[in-house]
Amino acid sequence: MRFEPRLLDEIRARLTLSDLVGRRVNWDRRKTQPGRGDYWACCPFHQEKSPSFHVDDRRNRYKCFGCGASGDHFTFLCETEGLSFPESVERLAEQAGVALPAPDPQAARREKKRAGLAEICEMAAKFFQSEFTAPRGEIARNYCEKRGLEARTLFEFRFGFAPDSRDALKSHLAARDVPEADMIEAGLIIKPEGGRPSYDRFRGRLMIPIQDDR
């Protein structure tokens, strides 16, 4: 089911993220600054001794600098309670006192398609991240080092590298049973006219994925 962004924003606005997350973690008193909406704790998603899990109430986002887990109210509920996204919206909407619209079959089909394409883009982002740390990603790493980018920044913003190859990503996704038509629709590969074979859109470049707060 597709939910309007303004509906999700209203739910977030009515529920403080630190209150929701605080049911699962103990905040670190030394690093946490409640007045600034800045909270730190040991991550609920992996074992650690030093708090690297951060909640920012101003942005309604959480981020673990240890394991990389990140998201918002809905993501947290999905990850900690095993709910689907629609289930998490229903649960939090009830807590926030926000009425949900009646289901729309056409909207549900569109959302299923959108979610599928988003998953393919996520697979591509992870591929580019792995290539960034691989031997052929050295040119990208050297560039980032010359620009003075810290490892924490590269990790947080998920820097990646698209190999200088016409089919590196295409082959990677095909091996995971992603249809070529979906790769094209996701904007990851290009299909030329005249029956020529498709090829990767991004080649030999640094990649920084756009991450949707929602």
Task: Using only the alpha carbons of the chain, give its radius of gyration.
Answer: 20
**Helix (H) or strand (E) run with residue 63 in it:** strand 61-64
| Residue 77 pLDDT > 60 | yes
Q: What is the mean pLDDT of residues 75-92?
A: 95
pLDDT at 114: 87
Token pair of 155 as six digits = 């990790």
pLDDT tens, residue by residue, 32-57 = 999 999 999 999 999 999 999 999 99
Contact 182, 155 (CB under 8 A): no
Q: What angle do CA 152, 78, 133 make, to 5 degrees?
A: 30
pLDDT tens, residue by residue, 19-28 = 999 999 999 9
Q: Which residues of 162-189 are buried (b: 16+ CB within 10 A; e: fewer)?
A: bbeeeebbbebbeeeebeeebbeebebb
Query: Rounded to two decimals, what is the model's pTM?
Result: 0.58
The answer regarding whether domain 105-207 maps to CATH 3.90.800.10 reads: no
The answer regarding whether domain 5-96 maps to CATH 3.90.580.10 reads: yes
pLDDT at 112: 85
pLDDT tens, residue by residue, 147-195 = 999 998 999 899 999 999 999 999 999 999 999 999 999 999 999 998 8
Q: What is the mean pLDDT of residues 199-203?
A: 98
| Residue 3 pLDDT > 90 | no
Q: Any bridge partners for residue 70, and if so which?
A: 63
The Cα 24–Cα 44 span in angstroms is 7
So where are the chain's domains? Answer: 5-96, 105-207
